[in-house]
Structures are given as C-alpha cells and as structure tokens.
Structure 1
Amino acid sequence: MAGSGSERVAVELCKGINGLDKVVLRGPRGSSAEVYLYGGHVTSWRNDHGEELLFVSSKAIFKPPKAIRGGIPICFPQFGSHGSLEQHGFARNKFWSIDTDPPPFPTNSKSFIDLILKPSEEDTQKWPYSYEFRLRVALGPGGDLMLTSRVRNTNADGKPFTFAFAYHTYFSVSDISGVESMG
C-alpha cells in the first residue's frame, strides 16, 4: 500500500495504541480518519487543515475489554444501560473484521473501509440472535466523514429481533459557549 513520491495512500492498515490494529483513511486534500478494528471505533477525523474534529479522552484506555472513551463508539444491540447487556451493548467492546466481501454499495470515495461484526458464542449466550453488522467508514473527496451501517438478521429460523443502535459521537469543541444543539 505504500506510494512513491507525492502519491498518498488512501487506506492503510497499521498498528495503533497498544498495538491494536487500525485503519487510516486519507483524503485527497489532507483530511484523514482513523478507525480501530477494536469496537469498529472511529478515533480521529481531521479536516483538510489538520484540525481534529473528534474528542477522545486523555484517559481513554486502548486495551480490551474496556471501551475506548470518545470518538465515535458503535452502540449495539442496545443504547443505554436498561437491558441485560453491558452499557451501550457489546459491539464497542468487540474486535471487528475487515469485510472482504461487502455487498455492493456505491461510493464516490477512494478512501473507505468495510468492517463486519458477527456474534461470538459468548455474545449469543447474552443476546441469543444471529446477525451480521456491516459498517462502512468513508472519507469523502471534500473531507466529509460518512458512516453507513447495515444489520442483517441471520437467524436460521428467520426469527425477528429488535435492537437499538447509535453512533455515540464526541465532537471536539474549542468554545462551548458557541455551541447550539438543535433537535
């Protein structure tokens, strides 16, 4: 994946904090994003000027089984702590795989990664359903960050299930007094 001269590599698999695998996406004008396979977790998104747009706590522990604090955690199959599962579900505490056979999905980006999460035996003891959770993280030509999730029911009997899901995004804010939340 290495380029020569001024050529930039759009997608690079490398080691991150504590040796965890991560993927670095690079846009044509200098934007970038980092995605850890642990949690399918976006930990950095920089604009074309190199400014960090996400907040990751200085107290974040990049060591399983603790979830990474900040960035964009994937909350699935529950959001909150009102079920029998750990807070915000288990997806943010699992190792995702690079999806080598993703379904067709049009993109105008050369800088994207497809990840997949399937249940482990331990997961099905806590939450007895079979699924495939696919996540595409893409960095657009203008530096915009796009996350697309697809959850597919793979229960052998086709038995339906319900779930909750969230991108629990932590934005970096330089001046909180200038922030307005609209719903």
Structure 2
Amino acid sequence: MESENAVASSTPSVDVCKGINGLNKVVLRESRGNSAEVYLYGGHVTSWKNERGEELLFVSSKAIFNPPKAIRGGIPICFPQFSNHGSLEQHGFARNRFWSIDTDPPPFPTNFSSKVFVDLILKSCEEDMKIWPHSYEFRLRVALEPGGDLMLTSRIRNTNPNGKPFTFTFAYHTYLSVSDIGEVRVEGLETLDYLDNLQKKERFTEQGDAITFESEVDRVYLSTPTKIAVLDHERKRTFVIRKDGLPDTVVWNPWDKKAKAMADFGDEEYKHMLCVEAAAVENSITLKPGEEWKGTLELSAVPSC
C-alpha cells in the first residue's frame, strides 16, 4: 500500500489502490502536490490535502471503514434523502453502497478545466428497489482543479421504465477540519431564515453578522447564496464553498454530549470539525423519466488574516 504522505509529484495522476480494510480507493494528485482520495465505497471523498500536505477535511479517528457502516467524516453523499424520513435509512443509501468507476460518462461542458478527476457511477439495485422502488443512474465526478480546489459534480437521472417520476432530497455532508470550533465563523448566511433541527424544525431568522459556535448547532439555512466562507482564525485559513443547484446550506456541530454518544466519533473531536453542507432539503427535487438533475460543490482553502 502506498504511503499516505507521498512526496508531491510534478506529474498529475489518478491511481486506484487499496485503502483501509482493503477497500478500493482512487487517489488524485495534481502537479503542485494537492491531493484527494475517494473510496468507491460510498463514492466517499475521505481526504483533500493542500500542496503542503495539510489535511483540509475531517475524518474521525474512530471512523469505521467497514460496510455497511457509513464512513464518519470527509464528504458523505446524502441521497435519496437528507435526514430521516419513512422507511429509508438516515441520509439515504448512496453513502453505503459500492460505486463503480464510470468508464463511459456523458460529456462534460467544454469549459471543464481539470485533468485530474475520476468519474463514478451508482445504479439502482434489487436491494435499493425494495426500499425505494425507482430506477436511477447517479454519476459523480470528483476533480482536483489546477490550483488545488476540490470539485464534486453529481448528475442524477430518472431511468424508470414505468413512466413514473421520483422525488429526492440531497446533501454533500462536508466535514471541514478546523483548529478550534470556538475560533471559527461562517459568513454569508446572515439575515437568512433557517430550520432549527434542535427545536422541531421551527423556522428562525439568523440575527448575527456571522455564525459562531458555543454549543450544539444543527440548522438548515434556506435559499442561501452560491458562495459561503468559513473563517478559521487560528490557522489563518478560509474555506470558500461555492455551490450550484443546491439552494440550502446545512450547518452542524454535535458538541460534547452528542459526540460522546456516537461510537464512531471521538469525545473531543467536535472541537476540530464543522459540517457546512451544500444541500437541497426544504424543497424536494422531482425528476420525470429521462430527466437529469445536476448539483455542484466547489471547495477552496485560501490564506486569511
């Protein structure tokens, strides 16, 4: 197995290799040394490092890389539902299915600049049809841009042969690595309405000029801008989140009590992570047979004061 701290290469590369517990993963490297890792289990990005080898995503030290348990951290894909409704499991089933490398993806726009990317595909199977009786194709492209930005593009198509539409909600459940949650602020969501999951999804309006953290937070901000900033003062780093096709933004930190209640999460790890998730939660997406939906997430990490 290759070293996780491989020396930066001057040659961009896309390599398939074995990860934890022998699970297949794809390692992307661009010419300056930025890298990303994607497990085929879950179509799950588990690492995004800058050119200095610093990890930008949070994955719990207690994460369980053992199907059917979803991996705790990185960027889980929530489909066909976000949260927990009806007979489907929490956050849907895409994050604990085995995806395949897509060898014949539909063409991307000509302005797509990255040469370092992998295309994955997930299709409906018998197991899924029992709990969600719809035929679909979910294509996911994970790309490292020339400057090290990480881009995820999801394309979901209704392939139902029976003429029936289907409806879903969605999120990129992004866990960012931060130095100290008490020193972090989120900008771009001020004055917006949100649903508070800690208060029975009651609707409130954000009053602060930025979101800061002193206790558990679990909110769905509605009709959010396409660009949001997460400032980490201690590391002098700002994460810039750009999204398209995803109107909502989920902000989550479990804080101490919930952290201790999760078997796959360290008791003190809530201090070093923050989920800021590009999502479509409030209004479900409906696709007729043959229709396709696209949702894009782009993450940048830039120096800040």
Q: Same fold (TM over 0.5)?
A: yes
Any stretches of 5+ residues in structure 1 without a counterpart?
A: 1-5
After the TM superposition, which residues 10-25 of structure 1 pair with which residues of structure 2 at under 5 Å, given as runs?
A: 10-25=13-28
Q: Are 2:104 and 1:101 aligned?
A: yes
Amino acid at match of 1:128: P
1:3 corresponds to: none
Task: Show CA shifts across 1:124-176 (max 9, x none).
Answer: 01000000000000000000000000000000123111001110000000122
Deviation at residue 84 of structure 1 after TM alignment: 1.3
Q: Work out which of the residue numbers 20, 36, 57 in structure 1 matches 2:39.
A: 36
Paired residue type of 2:31: P
Backbone CA RMSD of aligned residues = 1.1
Q: Structure 2: state its 5+ residue gaps.
A: 1-8, 190-305
Query: Is residue 54 of structure 1 aligned with residue 57 of structure 2?
Result: yes
Could you tell me how far apart the structure 2 residues matched to 1:158 and 1:146 are? Answer: 33
- The aligned counterpart of 2:156 is 151
- Alignment pair present for 1:8 and 2:8: no
- 1:65 pairs with 2:68: yes
> Quick one: distance in 1 between partners of 2:32 and 2:175?
24
CA distance, structure 2, for counterparts of residue 108 and residue 21 of structure 1? 26
Cα deviation for residue 83 of structure 1 reads: 2.5
Aligned counterparts of 1:27 and 1:46: Cα–Cα separation in 2: 11
Cα distance in 2 between the residues matched to 1:92 and 1:15: 18
Residue of structure 1 in register with 2:283 after alignment: none
Pairing partner for 2:165 from 160, 166, 172: 160
Q: Residues 11-52 of structure 1, C-alpha deviation per residue, up to 9 Å, x if partnerless?
A: 000000000000000011010000000000000000111110
Answering whether residue 142 of structure 2 is matched by residue 137 of structure 1, we say yes
Could you say which residue in structure 2 is the equivalent of 1:118?
123
Structure 1: 4+ residue segments shifted above 4 A: none
* CA shift digits 1:101-143 (9 cap, x unpaired): 1000142111100000001101001000000000000000000
Q: Counterpart in 2 of 1:86?
A: 89
TM-score, length basis structure 1? 0.94
Give the share of equivalent positions with the same residue, in percent: 78
Deviations 1:41-97 (A, max 9, x none): 000000111110000001101010100000000000000012311100000000000
State the TM-score, normalized to the length of structure 2: 0.57
Match of 1:181 in 2: 186
Higher share of residues assigned strand: 2
The farther-off stretch of 140-149 and 104-113 is: 104-113
Residue identity matched to 1:173: V
Opposite residue 40 of structure 1, the aligned amino acid is: G
How many residues were matched structurally? 178
